[in-house]
Each structure stands twice: as structure tokens, then as C-alpha cells.
Copies of this chain bind each other. A is one copy, B any other.
Amino acid sequence: MECDRRATFVHGVYDAARNVNTELANVADWLPLTVILNGERFSMNRGTIEGYCRTLNMRNGLLTRTVHWRSPSGERATLIFERFASLAQPHLLCLRCRVCPEFEGTIEFRTGIEGHTDNLGVTHFNWVDQGVRDSTAFLRTRTRQSNIEIAYALQALLTSGKETERAYWDAECTPWIVVKAYAKPHEEIILDKRVTLYTSREVPADKVVLIAVDSLHTAPEWDAALEENEKAWNHDWERTDVLIEGDNDAQRALRFNIFELLIAAPRHDARVSIGAKTLSGFGYRGHVFWDTEIFMLPPFTLTYPDIARNLLEYRYGTLEGARQKARSNGFEGAQFAWESADTGEEVTPTWIPDTHDRVKLVRIWTGEIEIHISADIAYAVHQYWLATGDDKWMIEKGAELILDTAKFWGSRAEYNAKADRYEYNNVIGPDEYHDHVNNNAYTNEMARWNLRTAFEVLDWLRKVAPGQADSLISKLDLTPTRLAHWADVIEKMYVPMLESGLIEQFDGYFALKDVDLKSLDPRVHSAQHILGIDGVNKTQIIKQPDVLMLLFLLRNQYSDEIIRINYDYYTPRTDHAHGSSLGPAIQSIMACEVGEPVQAYTEFWRAARADLYDVRGNAGDGIHGASAGGVWQSVILGFAGLHISNEGWTMNSRLPHDWRRLAFKFFYHNSQVSVDLPLASAPSAVEPELATEGDRV
């Protein structure tokens, strides 16, 4: 049987290993705690569980487990475990264990830091040092390849009950503290474990231990720590919460998705981003995809612009990696990695083993030809700028991102002399069921948008910051010849579209076999799984919106008629249920656009419950971060109909039938806008519970 896969990830702590591309390393486990009641070791697998409850409080990130246990020898006790990673002090981790025995006897707590962790069997750390200072145990480890040092400091104290004995187990790489007490019946004994964690990414390597130990000495005790953590959470929920009345399930699921985004967001570090699986699992190895900019970023841009800026700054910081990638492919400018880790180098695996055939390998092409991500990043930069009016950042960093990606698109464009047009051939669009395609509409149009926007930004820059404009023109070598070439590409970029306004996803798509997806029902697998990689490639079945994704991002460029005709064509050909988890939220928004509320709600709900109900069966690999961001977008940009453009913001709400109220706040140019969309028949608001189940901290 598969064991649980407890893991602790820290933003930016990447490491490579034998046969494994760079991945987010599973750092030491700070949770180990053994409780021994009158000599009997408590375990969920021993004695009798007479009651059990696990609660995640989404208001403050507190996870509580309550167990009523009868030991093998018949002694009863209630054990309550609570823990949280402080939002107020990001280096502080707190765990409390409350034991209330019905007997008289010893209560022994053994608690440690387990430095021997691995990523699904791959180890990333070497032991460096450990010891005890002023009743604080510490451990220092180092990643094997990237040489990041991490120090952990640990204290364990009884805050109710009297300590009768204490020991330190100095076992290598796994220091433990043992605390014993003697309890009378119904006397609650409380052990508070606090851990601090520092890495050489934020403090000097030779001071990690000192700083971890010192910061633990000055850190607040449990009650105060929990209080300041709650304050920090109140601050975050105040700006990010979305209230739904009339649909408690949707309310809970939406908050769960926002919660997952909030706990993964880097608030204090502009050198990291959020991986496709956030910080919650081993899936995709902590790598960063377009998922961040196109799906997760909008909620931050509109409710928490400081975080959005951090995320975009990660791309600015990895520009060198993107330039290196462009160069090594014979192009200019910045070609961002499809999968990005610490340096911005491409870390997409190139080959993965075929599980059925030891000689065969499956070639993963996304790292080489799913090139649209460079435009996606430029788009996100532009959206951030539109929404925040953060001209300072745009001048200092954003403009360079937009210009250097444009430079890539200019160099990557292929001139078709016969048709006197520019093309992008041999690519993968958002729909990954089809690879090595030519003239993917999404890619071509987003590239053109990127080039066009580069001109606008450059014009603007020349006006507001001519020095920076000159500097960038010189640094990026934006000669008149190059700019003239960009203009030519913009003018002659080819995007396949029928006279009716129906856009062809890529050259030859309409000639593919038009399989009715319903003919595969009933099914529990994706169309690709059923038909095979090559099989589905020959059909019009798509993994997720591709043309519709384009219409969603560049909504203003298209008439309602074009939206409608493309919606009608592509919707039945999309593998909503078993294709990409990125699809449903966008499909929901486009359904709102064409006035299909039932389809909109269906797809919203498909996205909203993805992880909370584990409907795709792979939540164990980690949260679907893009889906979480998409859920927020489907509510705010879809149902509420918020739209940000050069002209400002507009709203055009179309709420699901049962929703009686939708209320939220967003920031536009530094001002917070409160939106409350009550329907006439709405009863008085009763705020639904935030608490739900699930073991994610």
C-alpha cells in the first residue's frame, strides 16, 4: 500500500540529482511527534480509535486533529494535535499537542526534526551539523548539487503540566527532544513544539544556524504566534475573500481554491514563483509553467498586486535563462522555458520512460516547441500594468520583459514568400493533444499581440522615461531595421480563419477526423488515453480551449459573433472532463460570454471541485494551481463579468441561477473597489463556514 507522502517545500530550494532534472527538494520533516501514554505508544494503528476529527480552518490555516483513543491496555485519553505555518512569521512553524488522559500516569513526548527526507526516493540533502544551544536543538543540512544550506531550530516545552524529565537525542541528521510529564486524570498536558527554518537563500550560509536559533528564542509562544498569524490571515482574507450566497458548496470550494493560492504565494521573495502544483506535492517537480501567469496571476493582480509583482519579477530575474534558451535555438531575445526552476533554464524533461516497454522512451516536446509561454508572460505583465498602473515597475522591469519577448517573436517568425505572410511552424498550442502543428492561431495571434504591445510600450516609454527607453533600445539592440521587421511581422502574420469567422486551430485542423466525443462515453479516461497519443492527434478532439483561450485573452479584438461561432464549434470537441485541468474554468468564462449559464456553471463547478473532491484522482501529486486561479477567474471575470482594458474596468454580471449574492473586492490603480451583487430576492447574508477537511498546511 502507498504510504502518505508528507513533504515540506520551501520556495526556491531547488536541487538536481542522479537521473532527475532540477526539482523542488523535500526539506526536513518538522512534524515527527511520538506520544507515549503510561508506556504505551499512541498510534492510529494501535488500540481503539473511539473518535476522530480533522479540520482545516481556512480562516487561519490551522489544522486540528482530535482523537479519542483507548490504548491496547484499556487506558483512555483525548489527544488534540494543532499546527500551522505562520503567515506572519514565515520562518516559524508551530505544533501543539494536547493530551487529556482519563488515567494517572506518565505522558512522554518525543519530537524531532527528520533530516532524512527524499523526493519519491531521490535524496537531495547532506548532513552538515547539529547540536543543542540553550535548550534549542538545531540541524543544518545542505542540498547536494545546488549547495543551499538550511538550518532548523527546535524547541519543545510543556505549557500545561510539569516536566519531570527531559532528554536530547543527538542522532545524526535527526535530532530529537524528549519531554516527560506526570498527569492526573482529566489534567490536560500541553506540549508546544516550535521550529524555525532559514536557508542560505535569505541569510548568509555561515549564519543559518545562528539566525534560526536566535529567531526561535525571540519568537512568540503558541497563543501569541497564533494570534499574529490570524491577524495576517485576516488581512489577506479581507482583500481576497469572495462571498457567494445561495450556494454553500460553491462558496466553500471557491474559498478552498483561494486558500490554496494564498498559502503558495511568495510574499517576501521576488526570485521565486508558484509551481504548477503550488507547494503541495511532488507533481511537476515544483516547475513553473504558463499556469502561473495566465491562470494564477489574475487573482493576485487584482487583489494582491504585491504578490503579482513578485511573481512577474521572478520572470525578470530569469531573463538570462530565457535569452540563453533563445540563443541556443538560434533565436534572439527572450524565449522563456516551458518549465522553469531556479535559473530560468529549460527543465522540461526531454524523454520519459515508457512504462510498457523498457527500450521505448516517450519524447516530451513541450520544452522545445510549446513556445507561446513567452507571449503569455508578456501578456501577464501588461495586464498587471493595466490593473495596477504601476508605471514605476513597468519602466524598470516590465517593459524589458515585453520588449525582449517581442524580440524573440520577431526572430522566430518564418516568412512564407509564396503567400507573402509570416508563420510560426512546428509548435504546440495550449491544446497538447496536437503537437508539431503549423500556424496555431493562439500562438500566432498572441505573438502578434506581443509585438504590437512592444511598440505601444516603447512609445510610452519614450515619453515617460526617455533615458530608460534609450537604455533598453541600446541593451536590446532595437534598431530601426529590427522594429521595421516587427511591423512587417505584425502586418503579415498569418492566422487561419474561415470567412464565417471560424478560426482554424492550426493548419489542417479542419481536415482531421471529426470524432464525436460522446461516442467514447461512458469513460473515465482522457481521449488521449483511450485513442493513444497518435490516435487523438489525428482527430479534432482537443484537450482544452485553444482558440477559445485566445478569444478569452484578447476578448476586445473579437466580435460577439466570432465568439459565438467559435464557441459552438470548439465546445463539443473539447475533452472537458478528462482533458486538461486548465480547461474548465476558461470554458466557463466563455460560456458566460455567449450567455450559456448552465454550461458556465457546470464547467465552473468541474474546476472548483477538482482538488477538494479529488475528482481527477491525482490531487495527491499536488493542488492544480492553474485550476484554482481559473476558478477565481470564472467567478470574477466570468459570472461577475469584470473586464480590465486600456480604458479602465467594466462589469457585466451574469450570476448562476441559485446565487443570491456575490461580493468581493479588487484593486484598480491602487484603489480598492468593493463589489456587491445582490439579487432582489436575497435574504440576509449568513456567512458560510470556512472550515473544511483536508490535511494541507
Contact = CB atoms under 8 A, between A and B. Distances in A.
B171 A112 contact: yes
Contact of A122 (B3, B18, B167, B351): B18
A173 B32 CA distance: 12
Contacts of A121: 17-18, 122-124, 144
A174 B170 CA distance: 11
Interface string A279-295: 00000000000000000
Contact of A172 (B19, B144, B174): B174
A120 interface: yes
Contact of A116 (B32, B116, B359): B116
A167 B359 CA distance: 53
Contacts of A112: 171-172
A353 interface: yes
Interface in A126-165: 126, 144
A361 B353 contact: no
Contacts of A122: 18, 121-123
Contacts of A173: 116, 174
A236 interface: no
A350 interface: yes
A114 interface: yes
* Copies of this protein, total: 2
A18 B120 contact: yes
B19 A353 contact: yes
Contact of A123 (B114, B123, B170): B123
A657 interface: no
Given A19-B353, A358-B350, A3 B126 contact: yes
Contacts of A144: 121
A176 interface: yes
A14 to B, nearest CB: 15
Nearest to A361: B351
A18 B121 CA distance: 7
Contacts of A171: 112, 169, 171, 174, 176
A173 B116 CA distance: 9
A110 interface: yes
Given A18-B121, A20-B19, A172 B32 contact: yes
Given A18-B120, A19-B20, A118-B118, A110 B170 contact: yes
Contacts of A350: 358-359, 361
A264 B167 CA distance: 42
A126 B5 CA distance: 12
Contacts of A17: 121
Contacts of A351: 351, 361
Contacts of A346: 358
Contacts of A18: 20, 120-122
A28 to B, nearest CB: 12
Contacts of A361: 350-351, 361
**Which of A18, A171, A358, A361: most chain B CB closer than 10 A?**
A171
Interface in A346-399: 346, 350-351, 353, 358-359, 361, 368
A17 B351 CA distance: 17
A350 B360 CA distance: 8
Interface in A310-365: 346, 350-351, 353, 358-359, 361
Interface in A170-224: 170-174, 176
A10 B189 CA distance: 46
A597 to B, nearest CB: 45
Contacts of A32: 172
Contacts of A120: 18
A5 to B, nearest CB: 12
Contacts of A169: 169-171, 176
Nearest to A19: B19
Contacts of A124: 121
A116 B121 CA distance: 11
Interface string A5-20: 0000000000001111
Nearest to A36: B170
Contacts of A114: 172
A166 B556 CA distance: 77
A94 B518 CA distance: 69
Interface in A387-436: none
Nearest to A115: B116
Given A174-B171, A174-B172, A118 B123 contact: yes
Contacts of A19: 19-20, 353
5 contacts: A18-B122, A32-B172, A169-B169, A350-B358, A361-B361
Interface of A: 3, 17-20, 32, 110, 112, 114, 116, 118, 120-124, 126, 144, 167, 169-174, 176, 346, 350-351, 353, 358-359, 361, 368
Closest 8 CB pairs of A and B: A116-B116, A171-B171, A169-B169, A19-B19, A17-B121, A118-B123, A350-B359, A18-B121
Given A118-B123, A122-B123, A123-B123, 12 more contacts: A17-B121, A18-B120, A32-B172, A112-B172, A116-B174, A122-B122, A169-B176, A171-B171, A350-B359, A350-B361, A351-B351, A359-B368
